[in-house]
Amino acid sequence: MAANFRSIRYSLVIPVFNEEAVLPILLRRLELVLSRLDGPAEAIFVDDGSSDSSSIVLRALATRDPRFRYIGLSRNFGHQVAITAGMDAAQGEAIIVMDADLQDPPEVIEQLIAKWQEGNDVVHARRLSRDGESRFKRATAHLFYRILGRMSSVGIPADVGDFRLIDRKVLDALRQMPEQDRFVRGMIAWLGFRQTEVAFHRLERAAGETKYPLFKMVRLAMNAALGFSDLPLRLAVWCGLTVSGLALLYGGWVILMWLSNDPHLVTGWSSTILVVSLLCGFNMVMTGIVGLYVGRIHAEVKRRPLYVVQTQIGFDRNEAMTAPAIHAVNE
């Protein structure tokens, strides 16, 4: 095992949730790609609580073929956690995450690797087209990436899912981000490093059905919006300010009507509306401000590192120089 550790160059991480229909084709295509790679590779299947025969097939495969590994989660934790579990176990110098359903063609891996060998640390695979997905899914995905791009302060690339290659050092940094509500593609964008992309045509699912129903998509979108933007909080403040502003304008207008003895003025009504809407506005502002503080606490609780050091040169040399000096004092 120890000898194995250093020699692995590429780790493929593949989350699997009830994918028995697609496994035979996937394994065939994967074997071809693995045999073409220019270094030793491992393929890690993360079984995200499958209840079909996927578990049996993959467990048997991992027992008999040393290139394949199997991680079985105790239940369905969701795609983002599954890929995290797989990446945590990866031993390679370059780690590639891809879906099991062949919507991320294994052949693109070679293009990702080529870009990595040019010196890039993160290579995203960007979807040029999406075949076989409903118009609703395509439209919501399009909207999601555009809105997220505007909301977020880190440049999360559009039309990029979780199909990507990351370098070992990016993975080491990613593993320092222990946040619970994970949106891995945003976290990787946040990390920086040298990022680039290759484009591919996303094909239809080779077999089986999507494991991402609407509620899982909404949850992912919420994690993205709350984890990578404080726009919703600022929105509350702006809403409150607008309502208060409108209430004040209305107040001014009512006073003008009253001064000019307008016969349409109903006594009592205007002042009630004025007080209610003014209070509503204040309330919204205060909620928004509290929200901003909660947002800060939220960010703290996530315990993200403040920054990530990419390279360090000469530090061990400094240590080596001070160490003998301490020795000298002791003697």
User: Which among 14-22, 191-199, 220-228, 250-258 is the span making contact with ligand UDP, rule CB under 6 A?
Assistant: 14-22
Name the residue nearer to Mg ion (CB basis): 101 or 159. Answer: 101
Q: In terms of Cα–Cα distance, which of 95, 70, 91 is closest to 16?
A: 70
Would you tell me how many other CB atoms lie within 10 Å of the CB of residue 163? Answer: 24
Binding mask 47-66 for ligand UDP (x = CB under 6 A): -x------------------
Is residue 20 involved in binding Mg ion (CB under 5 A)?
A: no
The secondary structure of residue 3, as a DSSP letter, is H
The CA distance from 184 to 197, in Å, is 16
Find the Cα–Cα–Cα–Cα dihedral 38, 20, 25, 68, rounded to 10°: 20
Name the residue nearer to ligand UDP (CB basis): 6 or 201. Answer: 201
User: Which among 30-38, 99-107, 195-203, 280-288 is the span making contact with Mg ion, rule CB under 5 A?
Assistant: 99-107
User: Which among 74-82, 190-198, 221-229, 319-327 is the span making contact with ligand UDP, rule CB under 6 A?
Assistant: 74-82
Q: What does the block give as tokens for 19?
A: 């994918």
- Taking CB under 6 A as the criterion, the residue among 16, 58, 62, 166 binding ligand UDP is 16
Q: How many residues bind Mg ion (CB under 5 A)?
A: 3
Is residue 212 involved in binding ligand UDP (CB under 6 A)?
A: yes
CB 130 within 8 A of CB 200: no
Q: In terms of Cα–Cα distance, which of 186, 163, 171, 208 is closest to 84?
A: 171
Is residue 101 involved in binding Mg ion (CB under 5 A)?
A: yes
Kindly state the smallest distance separating residue 101's Cβ from ligand UDP, in Å. 4
With 0-12 CB in 10 A as exposed, 13-18 as middle and 19+ as buried, what is 193?
Answer: middle
Site for Mg ion in 53-82 (CB under 5 A): none
Q: How many residues bind ligand UDP (CB under 6 A)?
A: 16
- H/E stretch holding 300: helix 269-301
The CA-atom distances, in angstroms, between 202 and each of 96, 101, 106, 199 are 17, 11, 11, 9
User: Which among 204-212, 239-247, 259-267, 273-281 is the span making contact with ligand UDP, rule CB under 6 A?
Assistant: 204-212
Cα-Cα-Cα-Cα dihedral sign, residues 156, 91, 110, 212: negative
Is residue 103 involved in binding ligand UDP (CB under 6 A)?
A: yes
Is residue 48 involved in binding Mg ion (CB under 5 A)?
A: no
Is residue 183 involved in binding ligand UDP (CB under 6 A)?
A: no
Residue found under tokens 């160490």: 323
Is residue 82 involved in binding ligand UDP (CB under 6 A)?
A: yes
Residue found under tokens 């027992």: 63
Query: What's the chain's Rg over C-alpha atoms?
Result: 27
- Taking CB under 6 A as the criterion, the residue among 15, 105, 106, 240 binding ligand UDP is 15
Kindly state the smallest distance separating residue 162's Cβ from Mg ion, in Å. 10
Is residue 42 involved in binding ligand UDP (CB under 6 A)?
A: no
Name the residue nearer to Mg ion (CB basis): 160 or 248. Answer: 160
The secondary structure of residue 150, as a DSSP letter, is H
Residue found under tokens 């984890």: 227
Provide φ and ψ at 303, rounded to 5°: 55, 40
Kindly state the smallest distance separating residue 31's Cβ from ligand UDP, in Å. 18
Kindly state the smallest distance separating residue 33's Cβ from ligand UDP, in Å. 16
**Chain contacts with ligand UDP (rule: CB under 6 A):** 15-17, 19, 48, 76, 78-79, 82, 99-101, 103, 210-212
**Chain contacts with Mg ion (rule: CB under 5 A):** 99, 101, 103
